[in-house]
């Protein structure tokens, strides 16, 4: 029968091979035993001074990283292997090795060869690139962490969405700071963030954690939703994470929920139908330096298209229901982007989450420039609404800001 020491020696041999180890994870604890960290990850990294064993130990709130010199790797591994973790998962370029220690203390060792060899990533700043690490307290507070200390398989899509949002926020954070508080940025004048239509607030918290933990900015954030339960849940979670002095949730409509001061960054993610227009209009009126909006369903323009007669030369586009629907989606967001340009924003429209996960995957990112819209954009906008005989809700909401937004004429 395999004894635990022999099984641990097998794991150690795999961990010591600095050419083939891809990654190893120790997690869980043996019966009646305590472990100092809930999860420890190991990999070799190439630094300017040579190859090191990188040990990342996760406690409840953060990751502790150390790079172990070659001469003391044996000792570091002996210490780790003597710690009563109940699971070791080791990936090498050629096999996967799993050691589980049962409740009775028996080792169960499983080895499986790979069909195709894996490649080991030796970059040393991978953690930083991941933007919001899965060890962040947020994910355990949201119940997204499984018994092995990693993201639960059922929550991986949400985790990816969080990372996607952060990736899309990243390039405009500096705009929000410089066009917002600028050099006044401080605890007294933090970056102000508002999330309109925050729902269950996964993304509000993700943006907040990213801005405060990764970017280390002072932030005051407000989540707005018409549902009382969204406010209650958001405030509870903010309390659990100890951030309810800087992140609060209010119940109210996007149009007129109370928000203390003009925000520097406005989020509006999947706010239903024209609620996205309400959010964009409010953000424009606040003169928000940065707006990040992911539209949801688009019924309004769809209804207007159905009621109007399309230009004859385009009737094949709207002949089939599904195509008419998709066209209405595209038209709605193209008009939103144009309107934002007309009222003084630089606008990008991009993919939010991978279209395999949801068809509602467009994201509008707008940075206020205050520049006057060029004539070509205004003309193109006017001809589009006139040809298709539509009146975007956003244009109605901002009609006093530019003559081009007043009616179809």
- Tell me the closest approach of the beta carbon of residue 150 to ligand SAM, in angstroms: 22
- Tell me the closest approach of the beta carbon of residue 250 to ligand SAM, in angstroms: 10
Query: Which residue's beta carbon is nearest to the bound ligand SAM?
Result: 199
Interface map 233-272 toward ligand SAM (x if CB under 6 A)? --------------------xx--------------xxxx
Tell which one of 41, 225, 300, 333 touches ligand SAM (CB under 6 A).
Answer: 225
- Tell me the closest approach of the beta carbon of residue 323 to ligand SAM, in angstroms: 25
For residue 226, state whether it binds ligand SAM (rule: CB under 6 A): yes
- Tell me the closest approach of the beta carbon of residue 279 to ligand SAM, in angstroms: 8
Is 275 or 340 the residue whose CB approaches ligand SAM more closely?
275
Q: Tell me the window of 166-174, 220-228, 284-292, 394-402 that interacts with ligand SAM (CB under 6 A).
A: 220-228
Q: Tell me the window of 24-32, 194-202, 333-341, 382-390 that interacts with ligand SAM (CB under 6 A).
A: 194-202
* Contacting ligand SAM within 199-218 (CB under 6 A): 199, 202-203
3-state secondary structure string, the chain?
CCCHHHHHHHHHHHHHCCCCEEEEEEEEECCCCCCCCCEEEEEEEEECCEEEEEEEEECCCCEEEEEECHHHHHHHHHHHHHCCEEEEEEEECCEEEEEEECCCCCEEEEEEECCCCCCCCCCCCHHHHCCCCCCCHHHHHCCCECCCCCECHHHHHHHHHHHHHHHHHHHHHHHHHHHCCHHHCCCCCCEEEEEECCCCCHHHHHHHHHHHHHCCCCEEEEEEECCHHHHHHHHHHHHHCCCCCCEEEEECCCCCCCCCCCCCEEEEECCCCCHHHHHHHHHHHCCCCEEEEECCCCHHHHHHHHHCCCCHHHHHHHCCHHHHHHHHHHHHHHHHHHHHHHCCEEEEEEECCCCCCCCCCEEEEEEECCCCCCHHHHHHHHHHHHHHCCCCHHHHHCHHHCHHHCCCC
- Tell me the closest approach of the beta carbon of residue 205 to ligand SAM, in angstroms: 11
Tell which one of 57, 230, 265, 337 touches ligand SAM (CB under 6 A).
Answer: 230
- Tell me the closest approach of the beta carbon of residue 400 to ligand SAM, in angstroms: 21
Is 81 or 363 the residue whose CB approaches ligand SAM more closely?
363
Distances (CA, A) of 98 to 80, 281, 310: 16, 54, 62
Q: Tell me the window of 48-56, 174-182, 219-227, 393-401 that interacts with ligand SAM (CB under 6 A).
A: 219-227
Q: Which of 37, 39, 42 is nearest to 52 (CA)?
A: 42
Q: Tell me the window of 4-12, 94-102, 148-156, 192-200 that interacts with ligand SAM (CB under 6 A).
A: 192-200
Tell which one of 107, 149, 150, 197 touches ligand SAM (CB under 6 A).
Answer: 197
- Tell me the closest approach of the beta carbon of residue 198 to ligand SAM, in angstroms: 5
Is 111 or 255 the residue whose CB approaches ligand SAM more closely?
255
Is 227 or 406 the residue whose CB approaches ligand SAM more closely?
227
Is 17 or 236 the residue whose CB approaches ligand SAM more closely?
236
Is 197 or 397 the residue whose CB approaches ligand SAM more closely?
197
Tell which one of 227, 309, 315, 408 touches ligand SAM (CB under 6 A).
Answer: 227
**Dist CA 298 CA 278 (whole Å):** 13
Is 198 or 362 the residue whose CB approaches ligand SAM more closely?
198
Is 225 or 300 the residue whose CB approaches ligand SAM more closely?
225
* Contacting ligand SAM within 292-351 (CB under 6 A): 296
Is 151 or 275 the residue whose CB approaches ligand SAM more closely?
275
Burial string for 39-56 (b: 16+ CB within 10 Å, else e) reads bbbbbbbeeeeebbbbbb
- Provide φ and ψ at 231, rounded to 5°: -65, -45
Q: Is 279:197 a contact under the CB 8 Å cutoff? A: yes
Is 178 or 355 the residue whose CB approaches ligand SAM more closely?
355
**Dist CA 242 CA 238 (whole Å):** 6
- Tell me the closest approach of the beta carbon of residue 158 to ligand SAM, in angstroms: 9
Residue ranges in contact with ligand SAM by CB under 6 A: 197-199, 202-203, 224-227, 230, 253-254, 269-272, 275, 278, 296
């Amino acid at each position: 029968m395999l004894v635990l020491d022999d099984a641990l020696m097998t794991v150690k041999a795999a961990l010591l091979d600095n050419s083939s180890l891809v990654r190893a994870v120790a997690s869980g604890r043996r019966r009646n035993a305590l472990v100092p960290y809930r999860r420890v990850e190991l990999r070799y990294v190439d630094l300017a001074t040579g190859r090191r064993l990188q040990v990342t130990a996760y406690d409840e709130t953060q990751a502790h990283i150390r790079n172990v010199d070659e001469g003391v790797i044996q000792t570091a591994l002996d210490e780790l292997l003597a710690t009563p973790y109940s699971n070791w998962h080791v990936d090498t370029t050629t096999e996967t090795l799993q050691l589980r220690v049962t409740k009775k203390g028996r080792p169960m060792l499983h080895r499986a060869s790979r069909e195709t060899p894996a490649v080991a990533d030796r970059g040393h700043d991978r953690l930083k690139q991941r933007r919001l690490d899965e060890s962040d307290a947020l994910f355990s507070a949201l119940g997204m962490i499984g018994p092995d200390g990693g993201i639960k398989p059922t929550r991986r899509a949400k985790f990816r969405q969080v990372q996607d949002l952060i990736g899309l926020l990243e390039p405009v954070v500096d705009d929000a700071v410089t066009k917002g508080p600028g050099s006044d940025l401080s605890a007294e004048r933090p970056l102000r963030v508002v999330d309109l239509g925050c729902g269950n607030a996964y993304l509000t918290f993700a943006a907040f954690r990213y801005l405060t933990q990764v970017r280390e900015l002072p932030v005051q954030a407000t989540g707005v939703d018409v549902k009382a339960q969204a406010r209650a849940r958001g405030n509870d979670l903010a309390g659990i994470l100890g951030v309810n002095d800087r992140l609060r949730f209010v119940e109210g409509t996007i149009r007129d929920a109370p928000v203390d001061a003009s925000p520097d960054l406005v989020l509006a993610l999947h706010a239903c139908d024209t609620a996205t227009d309400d959010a964009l209009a409010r953000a424009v009126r606040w003169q928000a330096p940065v707006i990040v909006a992911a539209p949801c369903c688009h019924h309004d323009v769809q209804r207007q298209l159905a009621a109007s007669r399309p230009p004859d030369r385009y009737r094949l586009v709207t002949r089939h229901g599904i195509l008419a629907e998709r066209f209405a989606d595209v038209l709605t967001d193209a008009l939103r982007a144009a309107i934002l340009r007309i009222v003084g924003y630089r606008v990008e429209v991009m993919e939010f989450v991978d279209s395999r996960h949801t068809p509602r995957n467009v994201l509008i990112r707008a940075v206020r420039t205050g520049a006057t819209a060029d004539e070509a954009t205004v003309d193109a906008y006017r001809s589009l609404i006139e040809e298709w005989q539509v009146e975007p809700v956003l244009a109605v909401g901002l009609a006093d800001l530019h003559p081009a937004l007043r009616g179809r004429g």
